[in-house]
């Protein structure tokens, strides 16, 4: 075995994945356009190996089609009905669907063979690759192996443990963003009937800085642009995201914009291939001609340098306005619709160019050119992702982007606006449904009226608050609706220890993951239907609904036979959980709701603004779009206007010799699900434990390419280690480093967060890099 930490049965267990062999890491720079032929080869071989030929083709014809299922991978919107293609998916969508629709099974015999300790010693890829969970499983106190349990007994156990809690606040209900609107709505209703707002979700680690920042600034925590706007924009700024890997279908949108002359600027410390060139894998002519150029300008900002860079661009906007008064800044918009402008402008004037250039790492002339694109473009869209949100200054980043848009009134008119690119396919919908630890009073008022109860008002725990509470022994029951909480969370070993202090942990899941092996005193794994599968309830087959990144609500119909007769739907599981925990005290008829999801949608329509006639409108092809008031220049903020927010350039937390590490995704993973060990566009093969460094830093630190090093995270005088990474010289600014998540999560302190959004700072971890002190491991782990 590679690493022995995980295989010992002592508590607390180490959750770090075992380091795999490094000697075979290969680096081969990739010079082709993103997608193209490679995408076809990779997606086809993955689908065939997991599904066989017939299931592969029938599945491919149903992804993202009106009568099919919503791709469970990313949240990028589908084209309108008239523009939809026969195959509306990408390489990584196929990987996600093939992983769910696989013919492989993890049945009770599997758990008889493998103890929890043995499973912990396997790597994440191996765990995922074993197949679909088929049966509810139970780990009794003190047991080494999970054993089968009936659904009835599983809910009886959950009911007993929840009723035995001193307070409802001693329970935590986590959600990952694949959960449908229907399941999410029931789940939050149940938690609040029980009496708690402890509803942390993956958003807390993802776009929370966006939700918090935009809510404060423009009154709604979502973007407002649509695909139509992408057809009208004169310029698109793409800041801190990697669509070639994480939202491949977005490349079609961007390539079309680029072809008609829209100017695209990318802001990213890494020269990501998908930001440079794209060839549509389903259009042979496109591939023959070498694809389409995406970004005409690439700003290789330093990690954490975005506030400074945006300030630089805005300083140029001010300069241009001084040269051409009344021509550049949209003063009428600002007068009528914005507040805080004078203070903002004064602070911007006082910011020195030296600080802007030093902190962003971009020279003044380059900033001037980027500003010129912004100024000469009538309609501008800004897109962003995790490179913006996951910092101690994540909210400052988001609000600085919005400041830039506001300066020229780039909001609430065609072809302009904000486009935060969401991650999980229904993460935005889950929040709309009330999965939130700090719900608005108006939402709770309405929920209480519709269901005849007084919802709890005190804020619940976000992800990092939940981990701390568990660590302090305050949490008796931890329940997860999907996801991989302990592995996706920061501070891996601290989180594992926190989980081990719960009385009961329970995970609703489709596939086995390392998180399920991080148990409390007792634990449950509850296997559920995936989005691709037929969901049969009392009233017949059901569909569910999701909300994409552009606030479009649409239906998703499962089409495949369920992976096992024991699988249950997420809404059904919530209904049984609620009955077991609330018993006769519940005023809700859970069986009626879950027997026919139209009943759930009726309650959603009564509770949540924008969902009137939900059942009718969602049956129309393509669904319907939620109105975003900010997109109509109605700003429901404390000033009643869009607010310019003033933010200083963040201080550099590095002491000499330290680097800022961004933890990123490879092309062969979906979050903690590891499909393989290659990262094609970055040219790395057969390894995940690599750290990308600038060649000058490699030399300065006295290292050589491919040398094995330990990464040491430093935060407030504490240090944390992630051992054995191979150094790979890469096109990245000096002082910066990048390595994959979740291998690097042990480095991130739980309290290293943005103070407003509480988002872990996973893109700016202060690290020291030292030659390894850990012994070489054998190759057995893979």
Ligand X SMILES: Nc1nc2c(c(=O)[nH]1)N[C@H]1C(S)=C(S)[C@@H](COP(=O)(O)OP(=O)(O)OC[C@H]3O[C@@H](n4cnc5c(=O)[nH]c(N)nc54)[C@H](O)[C@@H]3O)O[C@H]1N2
Residues that bind ligand X (CB under 6 A): 73-74, 92, 176-178, 202, 205-206, 239-242, 245-247, 267-270, 272, 301, 303-304, 306, 385-387, 390, 423-424, 481-485, 488, 508-511, 513, 528, 530-531, 570, 662-665, 669-673, 741, 744-745, 748, 762-763
Q: Binding marks (x or -) toward Mo ion, 369..408, rule CB under 5 A?
A: ----------------------------------------
Angle between helices 492-500 and 463-471 (to 10 degrees): 60
Residue nearer to Mo ion on the CB measure, 245 or 377? 245
Give residues with Cβ within 8 angstroms of 190, minimum separation 6: 173, 574, 577, 578, 581, 582
Helix (H) or strand (E) holding 600: helix 597-607
CB of 489 to ligand X, least distance (A): 7
Distance CA(132)–CA(117), nearest Å, equals 20
Residue nearer to ligand X on the CB measure, 18 or 423? 423
Among the listed residues 474, 526, 464, 470, the one whose alpha carbon sits nearest the alpha carbon of residue 499: 470
Stretch that binds Mo ion, among 206-214, 643-651, 683-691, 738-746 (CB under 5 A): 206-214
Residue nearer to ligand X on the CB measure, 201 or 710? 201
Residue nearer to ligand X on the CB measure, 130 or 226? 130
Give residues with Cβ within 8 angstroms of 177, minimum separation 6: 75, 201, 202, 203, 206, 422, 423, 424, 425, 426, 427, 428, 430, 483
Residue nearer to ligand X on the CB measure, 50 or 513? 513
Distance CA(11)–CA(498), nearest Å, equals 11
Residues in the chain: 782
Among the listed residues 5, 2, 11, the one whose alpha carbon sits nearest the alpha carbon of residue 498: 11
* Count of C-beta atoms within a 10 Å radius of residue 62: 19
Residue 513 partner contact from ligand X, Mo ion, none using kind-dependent CB cut-offs of 5 to 8 Å: ligand X
CB of 501 to Mo ion, least distance (A): 27
SS3 of the chain: helix, strand, coil, percent, to 5 = 40, 20, 45
Among the listed residues 694, 671, 770, 764, the one whose alpha carbon sits nearest the alpha carbon of residue 725: 770
Stretch that binds Mo ion, among 205-213, 287-295, 676-684, 700-708 (CB under 5 A): 205-213
Q: Binding marks (x or -) toward Mo ion, 280..309, rule CB under 5 A?
A: ------------------------------
Residue nearer to Mo ion on the CB measure, 13 or 423? 423
To the nearest 10°, report the CA torsion of 114, 159, 184, 50. 20
CB of 736 to Mo ion, least distance (A): 22
Residue nearer to ligand X on the CB measure, 173 or 485? 485
Return the sign of the alpha-carbon dihedral for residues 561, 40, 257, 254: positive
Residue nearer to ligand X on the CB measure, 302 or 643? 302
Distance CA(394)–CA(388), nearest Å, equals 6
Residue nearer to ligand X on the CB measure, 21 or 570? 570
Residue 673 partner contact from Mo ion, ligand X, none using kind-dependent CB cut-offs of 5 to 8 Å: ligand X
CB of 570 to ligand X, least distance (A): 6
CB of 124 to ligand X, least distance (A): 9
The token pair that represents 614 in the structure block: 């939900």
Question: Which residue matches tokens 């706007």?
Answer: 229
If you ran DSSP here, which 8-state letter would residue 760 be given?
B
Residue nearer to ligand X on the CB measure, 485 or 494? 485
CB of 416 to ligand X, least distance (A): 21
| Cis status, amide bond into 742, omega within 30 of 0 | yes
Residue nearer to ligand X on the CB measure, 213 or 409? 213
Rg of the chain over all Cα atoms, to the nearest angstrom: 25
Residue 262 partner contact from Mo ion, ligand X, none using kind-dependent CB cut-offs of 5 to 8 Å: none
CB of 22 to Mo ion, least distance (A): 28
- Judged by CB under 5 A, the residue of 17, 219, 423, 527 near Mo ion is 423
The token pair that represents 84 in the structure block: 């939809």
Residue nearer to ligand X on the CB measure, 218 or 573? 573
Residue 481 partner contact from ligand X, Mo ion, none using kind-dependent CB cut-offs of 5 to 8 Å: ligand X
Residue nearer to ligand X on the CB measure, 321 or 437? 437
Residue 456 partner contact from Mo ion, ligand X, none using kind-dependent CB cut-offs of 5 to 8 Å: none
CB of 508 to Mo ion, least distance (A): 19
Extract the runs of DSSP E, i.e. beta strands, from 562-682. Answer: 624-625, 642-643, 659-664, 669-670, 673-674
Residues in contact with Mo ion, counted by CB under 5 A, come to a total of: 2
Distance between alpha carbon 627 and the CA centroid of its chain, in Å?
23
CB of 628 to ligand X, least distance (A): 20
Residue 528 partner contact from ligand X, Mo ion, none using kind-dependent CB cut-offs of 5 to 8 Å: ligand X
* Count of C-beta atoms within a 10 Å radius of residue 539: 12
CB of 327 to ligand X, least distance (A): 29
CB of 415 to ligand X, least distance (A): 23
CB of 176 to ligand X, least distance (A): 3
Residue 7 partner contact from Mo ion, ligand X, none using kind-dependent CB cut-offs of 5 to 8 Å: none
Question: Which residue matches tokens 């070489």?
Answer: 776
Residue nearer to ligand X on the CB measure, 576 or 605? 576
Among the listed residues 422, 313, 306, 206, the one whose alpha carbon sits nearest the alpha carbon of residue 660: 306
Residue 410 partner contact from Mo ion, ligand X, none using kind-dependent CB cut-offs of 5 to 8 Å: none
Would you list the DSSP string of 263-324? EEEEE-SS--GGGTEEE-TT-HHHHHTT-EE--SEEE-PPTT-HHHHHHHHHHHHHHHHHHS
Distance CA(314)–CA(733), nearest Å, equals 23
The token pair that represents 689 in the structure block: 């434990």
CB of 342 to ligand X, least distance (A): 28
Residue 168 partner contact from ligand X, Mo ion, none using kind-dependent CB cut-offs of 5 to 8 Å: none
Pairing of strands 642-643, 504-509: unpaired
CB of 384 to Mo ion, least distance (A): 13
Would you list the DSSP string of 128-141? HHT-EE-S-EEE-T
Q: Binding marks (x or -) toward Mo ion, 159..198, rule CB under 5 A?
A: ----------------------------------------
* Count of C-beta atoms within a 10 Å radius of residue 647: 18
Residue nearer to ligand X on the CB measure, 239 or 447? 239
| Helices and strands of the chain, counted as H and E runs | 30, 33
To the nearest 10°, report the CA torsion of 524, 745, 124, 772. -140
Q: Return phi, psi of residue 388, to 5°.
A: -95, -40
Residue nearer to Mo ion on the CB measure, 206 or 626? 206
Residue 495 partner contact from Mo ion, ligand X, none using kind-dependent CB cut-offs of 5 to 8 Å: none
CB of 485 to Mo ion, least distance (A): 13
* Alpha-carbon distance values, 333 to 140, 220, 330, 338, 414 (Å): 63, 19, 6, 7, 15
Pairing of strands 292-293, 132-133: unpaired
Residue 670 partner contact from Mo ion, ligand X, none using kind-dependent CB cut-offs of 5 to 8 Å: ligand X
Does 74 sit near Mo ion (CB under 5 A)?
no
CB of 466 to ligand X, least distance (A): 12
Residue 239 partner contact from Mo ion, ligand X, none using kind-dependent CB cut-offs of 5 to 8 Å: ligand X
CB of 304 to ligand X, least distance (A): 5
* Count of C-beta atoms within a 10 Å radius of residue 46: 23
Does 206 sit near Mo ion (CB under 5 A)?
yes
Residue nearer to Mo ion on the CB measure, 101 or 205? 205
Residue 295 partner contact from Mo ion, ligand X, none using kind-dependent CB cut-offs of 5 to 8 Å: none
| Cis status, amide bond into 12, omega within 30 of 0 | yes
Q: Which residues of the shown chain bind Mo ion in the complex (CB under 5 A)?
A: 206, 423
């Amino acid at each position: 075995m590679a690493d022995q930490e995980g295989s010992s049965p002592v508590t607390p267990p180490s959750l770090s994945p075992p380091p795999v062999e490094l000697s075979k890491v290969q680096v081969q720079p990739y010079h082709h356009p993103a997608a193209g032929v490679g995408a076809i080869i990779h997606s086809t071989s993955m689908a065939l190996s997991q599904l066989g030929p017939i299931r592969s083709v029938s599945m491919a014809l149903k992804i993202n089609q009106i009568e099919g299922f919503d791709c469970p991978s990313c949240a990028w919107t589908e084209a309108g009905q008239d523009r939809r293609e026969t195959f509306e998916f990408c390489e990584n969508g196929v990987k996600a669907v093939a992983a769910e629709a696989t013919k492989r099974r993890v049945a009770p015999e599997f758990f008889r063979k493998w103890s929890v300790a043995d499973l912990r010693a396997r790597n994440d890829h191996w765990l995922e690759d074993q197949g679909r969970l088929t049966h509810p499983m139970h780990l009794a106190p003190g047991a080494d192996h999970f054993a089968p349990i009936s659904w009835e007994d599983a809910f009886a156990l959950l009911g007993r443990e929840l009723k035995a809690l001193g307070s409802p606040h001693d329970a935590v209900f986590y959600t990952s963003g694949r959960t449908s609107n229907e399941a999410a709505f029931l789940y939050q209703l149940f938690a609040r009937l029980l009496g708690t707002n402890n509803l942390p979700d993956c958003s807390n680690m993802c776009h929370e800085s966006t939700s918090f920042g935009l809510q404060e600034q423009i009154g709604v925590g979502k973007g407002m642009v649509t695909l139509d706007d992408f057809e009208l924009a004169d310029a698109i700024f793409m800041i801190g995201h990697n669509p070639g890997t994480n939202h491949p279908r977005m490349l079609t949108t961007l390539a079309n914009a680029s072809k008609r002359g829209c100017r695209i600027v990318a802001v990213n410390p890494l020269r990501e291939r998908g930001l440079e060139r794209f060839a549509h894998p389903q259009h042979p002519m496109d591939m023959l001609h070498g694809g389409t150029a995406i970004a005409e300008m690439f700003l290789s900002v330093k990690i954490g340098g975005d506030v400074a860079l945006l300030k630089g661009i805005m300083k140029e906007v001010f300069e241009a306005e001084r040269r051409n008064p009344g021509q550049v800044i949209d003063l009428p918009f600002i007068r009528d619709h914005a507040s805080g402008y004078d203070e903002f402008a004064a602070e911007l004037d006082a910011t020195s160019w030296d600080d802007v250039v030093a902190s962003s790492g971009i020279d003044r002339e380059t900033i001037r050119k980027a500003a010129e694109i912004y100024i000469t473009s009538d309609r501008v869209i800004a897109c962003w992702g995790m490179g913006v949100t996951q910092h101690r200054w994540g909210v400052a980043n988001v609000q600085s982007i919005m400041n830039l848009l506001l300066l020229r009134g780039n909001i609430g008119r065609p072809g302009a606006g904000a486009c935060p690119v969401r991650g999980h396919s229904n993460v935005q919908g889950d929040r709309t449904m009330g999965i939130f630890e700090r719900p608005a009073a108006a939402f709770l008022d309405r929920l209480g009226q519709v269901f005849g109860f007084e919802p709890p008002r005190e804020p619940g725990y976000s992800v990092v608050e939940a981990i701390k509470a568990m660590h302090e022994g305050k949490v008796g029951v931890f329940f997860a609706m999907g996801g991989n909480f302990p592995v996706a969370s920061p501070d891996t070993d601290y989180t594992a220890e926190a989980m081990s202090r719960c009385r009961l942990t329970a995970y609703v899941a489709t596939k086995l993951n390392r998180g399920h092996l991080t148990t409390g005193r007792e634990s449950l794994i509850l296997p559920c239907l995936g989005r691709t599968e037929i969901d049969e309830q009392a009233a017949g087959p059901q569909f569910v609904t999701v909300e994409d990144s552009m606030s479009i609500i649409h239906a998703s119909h499962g089409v495949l036979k369920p992976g096992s007769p024991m699988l249950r739907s997420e809404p059904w599981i919530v209904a049984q959980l609620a009955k077991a925990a609330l018993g006769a005290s519940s005023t809700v008829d859970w069986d009626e709701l879950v027997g026919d999801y139209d009943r759930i949608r009726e309650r959603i329509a009564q509770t949540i603004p924008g969902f009137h006639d939900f059942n009718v409108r969602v049956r129309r092809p393509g669904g319907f779009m939620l109105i975003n008031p900010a997109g109509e220049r109605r700003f429901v903020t404390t000033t009643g206007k869009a607010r310019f927010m003033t933010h200083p350039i963040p201080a550099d937390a590095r002491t000499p010799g330290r680097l800022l590490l961004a933890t990123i995704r490879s092309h062969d993973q979906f979050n903690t699900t590891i499909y393989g060990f290659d990262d094609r566009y970055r040219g790395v093969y057969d390894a995940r434990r690599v750290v990308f460094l600038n060649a000058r830093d490699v030399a300065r630190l006295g290292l050589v390419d491919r040398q094995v090093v330990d990464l040491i995270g430093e935060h407030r005088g504490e240090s944390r280690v992630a051992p054995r990474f191979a150094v790979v010289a890469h096109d990245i600014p000096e002082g910066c480093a990048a390595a994959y998540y979740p291998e690097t999560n042990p480095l991130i302190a739980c309290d290293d967060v943005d103070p407003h959004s509480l988002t872990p700072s996973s893109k700016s971890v202060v690290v020291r890099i030292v030659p390894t002190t850990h012994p070489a491991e054998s190759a057995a782990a893979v």
